[in-house]
Structure 1
Amino acid sequence: MLLFLYGEDLFRSKEKLNELKQKFIEKNASSSVLTFDFSEKTANERDFLESLRASGLFSERKLIIVLDFLKNVPTEIQKSVLESLKKTSNLENDQDLIVIFYESSEPKKNLSFFKYLHTKAKKQSFPLLQGFSLSNWAEEYAKKISPEISFSKNTLELLVSYTGNNLYLLKNELEKLVAFKQQGEITQDDVNQLVKAGIQSTVFEAIEALFGGNKGKALSLLHQQLEKGEDPFYMLSMYIYQIRTLLKISSAYQDGNTSAPMIAKQTGLHPFVAQKSLSQIRNISLEKLKNIYKELEKIDFQSKTGKESLILLLDKFIASI
């Protein structure tokens, strides 16, 4: 069976990927789960193709997860792998071999490999939530935590104006609000009192210091938040969110959208966010931003394996920029 998950909303796409993986493990405790992460230099297409060939009529069930193949693999190699996939017998309907292609961004739709997956695979796209969809997600998530909680429309709009469509941040703040209120209607006063829009400001300041060559200040700001008891994973999600925002703004800027209103219109970001970020993207190239984003994604993956402390990984990240 061939599955394809892709899009910029990493919270929902990773949630779906983990759900599929857990369901497979629960039903097939003794079966194999293989992961090929093409953002890592150790992953290669030969090992991936060999894992497909190792499946046969009397083999155990197998789940193969392929991470960021389209983003990281040269087009010529993609074409070669695509030819091999097309020769794999009954791949789309094989119940004993499940291959999940996962892309942590929006792939280029003109790629032959994308067209193949989009046509042949069971697919699900995860665009960033906006407007009503974002408010609706927030309300449903709060009710999942506690059915006794409610929001007015204006309160929800205020909350998402603080968090934007960063679902990691929104989830954190919803859990805090629900724990505080426990039941009844969460008010705008509750949101203003508890939601820390200030952490976004701190992360913005840290990245500004980093781009300005002041690594000491960037490290100091990070550790100030950690000493206040902030979750390192939460901090990582904020750095990822901020760099992704800068990538959108930088890309729009290179397309000729040089004013905040023009950038806001193209990207869907708030004009205030676009205006505030313009000074940062003028000090760093789009290519450099892409590399920084890849490093943060790598840290996100490494932190989940538990091989190294996330705080240490964040320190190394800041020192390496």
Structure 2
Amino acid sequence: MNYLLYGADTFRSRRKLVEIMEAYRAKAGVAFNMHRFDAEEDDLARMPAIAGGQSLFEQKKLIIIERPFTFPRQFTLVRDALKRSAQDKGSLMIVWDSEVGQDAKKMLDEASALADRTQVFEILKGDKLLRWVEEEAKSRKLNLARAEILGMARRCGGDLWALSGEMEKRAVMPSESITTNQESRADATVFQLGDAFLVSPKDALRAVHTLLEQGENAVGMFMYLAGYARTLMLVRSYLDQGRPVPPRHGIHPFVVKKASAQVRSLSGGFLASILTRFFEEDIKIKTGLARPEEALVRLVTLTSQSVSSGAI
């Protein structure tokens, strides 16, 4: 049997991959072997033979091939393996990838024709996203107020990796730290700070003060913003080249989409100057010339002045 899993929502597709693996492992028992390949890093020459071969000592096989459409150089071997796996009752082959572009559509169609089951994982939006948050919270035994659910969905959008992280943090929060005003409490997060940093620096400055008052770690906030600024610079660079951001950078497609919208009105020179400021403030923090809180406020203030003056 052949499975095909792909789509921009890699959180749900990876979870489905693990679910299929565990079900097959339970069914196969001890007479079971797993072979895992990555299309970018591994030589796939052995894969067709593994998919089609069977011996008395290997009654069941699970074969996983990741990112064959993102890195299609060896796709003919993937196609051959799918054909052989379809004829071998003792093997299960799972093909996994993230979002598949138009340039790989022909290969995707070929793989789909050879798959017994295909599942596409699109980014969740609107009511579907809210239902997912509610169900995920229940599965983690989290009692979230409606305002918290709306706040999480608004901050993270369809990035389920970020939403999962939010729930993990929420799960370890002491009950006395959860205020009755759940919505305002949920809104004051580093994610809100990142969203406002270059779009509305005044809101970002307000968020900095609110987070500091809530006891948020200033160094953690600084590192988060620095990483976010690097992501924006990277996305801007690929936009200038007219190329998509490669998966090897590990940036979720939803984050790339959101960052692309933000940086279209920002020059590469302006983003470079922001990174330079982070570098300078980082040195001041490490050498004791500035406290992290002071560096954060100064960064956001200088950015606000640049945006207000149109120097972007």
Conserved? CA contact 1:32–1:62, under 8 Å: yes
SS of residue matched to 1:50: helix
Conserved? CA contact 1:177–1:191, under 8 Å: no
Q: Match for 1:162: what amino acid?
A: R
Shift of 1:113: 2.9
TM-score by length of 1: 0.58
1:163 corresponding residue in structure 2? 156
How large is the Cα RMSD of the aligned pairs? 4.4
Conserved? CA contact 1:150–1:186, under 8 Å: no
SS of residue matched to 1:46: coil
How far apart, CA to CA, are the structure 2 residues paired with 1:29 and 1:11? 27
1:275 to 262, 279, 298: 262
4+ long deviations beyond 6 Å: 183-186, 201-204, 280-284
SS of residue matched to 1:8: coil
TM-score by length of 2: 0.59
State the aligned residue count. 235
Conserved? CA contact 1:107–1:114, under 8 Å: no
2:109 corresponding residue in structure 1? 115
Conserved? CA contact 2:6–2:96, under 8 Å: yes
How far apart, CA to CA, are the structure 2 residues paired with 1:184 and 1:145? 20
Q: Match for 1:98: what amino acid?
A: L
1:39 corresponding residue in structure 2? 40
1:3 corresponding residue in structure 2? 3
**Measured at CA, do residues 157 and 248 of structure 1 come closer, stay the same or move farther in structure 2, by a change above 3 Å?**
farther
2:182 to 181, 187, 192: 187
2:100 corresponding residue in structure 1? 106
How far apart, CA to CA, are the structure 1 residues paired with 2:165 and 2:141? 14
Conserved? CA contact 1:38–1:67, under 8 Å: yes
How far apart, CA to CA, are the structure 2 residues paired with 1:185 and 1:144? 23
SS of residue matched to 1:191: helix
Shift of 1:156: 3.2
How far apart, CA to CA, are the structure 1 residues paired with 2:227 and 2:25? 32
- Segments of 5+ residues of structure 1 without an aligned counterpart are 205-222, 256-266, 285-321
SS of residue matched to 1:100: strand
State which structure, 1 or 2, has the greater radius of gyration over its C-alpha atoms. 2
Conserved? CA contact 1:5–1:103, under 8 Å: yes
1:28 corresponding residue in structure 2? 28
| Aligned ranges 1:188-267 → 2 under 5 Å | 188-193=183-188, 195-197=189-191, 200=194, 224-225=219-220, 254=242
Among all aligned residue pairs of Structure 1 and Structure 2, give the percentage whose two residues are the same amino acid.
20
**Measured at CA, do residues 138 and 185 of structure 1 come closer, stay the same or move farther in structure 2, by a change above 3 Å?**
farther
| Aligned ranges 1:57-136 → 2 under 5 Å | 59-74=58-73, 77-79=74-76, 81-82=78-79, 85-86=82-83, 88=84, 91-92=85-86, 94-108=88-102, 111-121=105-115, 122-136=117-131
**Measured at CA, do residues 80 and 174 of structure 1 come closer, stay the same or move farther in structure 2, by a change above 3 Å?**
closer
How far apart, CA to CA, are the structure 2 residues paired with 1:239 and 1:273? 16
**Measured at CA, do residues 6 and 119 of structure 1 come closer, stay the same or move farther in structure 2, by a change above 3 Å?**
same
- Segments of 5+ residues of structure 2 without an aligned counterpart are 199-217, 244-254, 272-312
After superposition, what is the alpha-carbon deviation per residue over 1:253-287, rounded to whole angstroms, capped at 9, x for unaligned?
949xxxxxxxxxxx9966x9723565377899xxx
**Measured at CA, do residues 174 and 70 of structure 1 come closer, stay the same or move farther in structure 2, by a change above 3 Å?**
same
After superposition, what is the alpha-carbon deviation per residue over 1:4-50, rounded to whole angstroms, capped at 9, x for unaligned?
0101111111111112112222333431000011121xx12311112
Q: Match for 2:134: what amino acid?
A: E
Q: Match for 2:48: what amino acid?
A: L
How far apart, CA to CA, are the structure 2 residues paired with 1:245 and 1:51? 43
SS of residue matched to 1:135: helix
**Measured at CA, do residues 114 and 67 of structure 1 come closer, stay the same or move farther in structure 2, by a change above 3 Å?**
same
Q: Match for 2:9: what amino acid?
A: D
**Measured at CA, do residues 254 and 93 of structure 1 come closer, stay the same or move farther in structure 2, by a change above 3 Å?**
same
**Measured at CA, do residues 59 and 253 of structure 1 come closer, stay the same or move farther in structure 2, by a change above 3 Å?**
closer
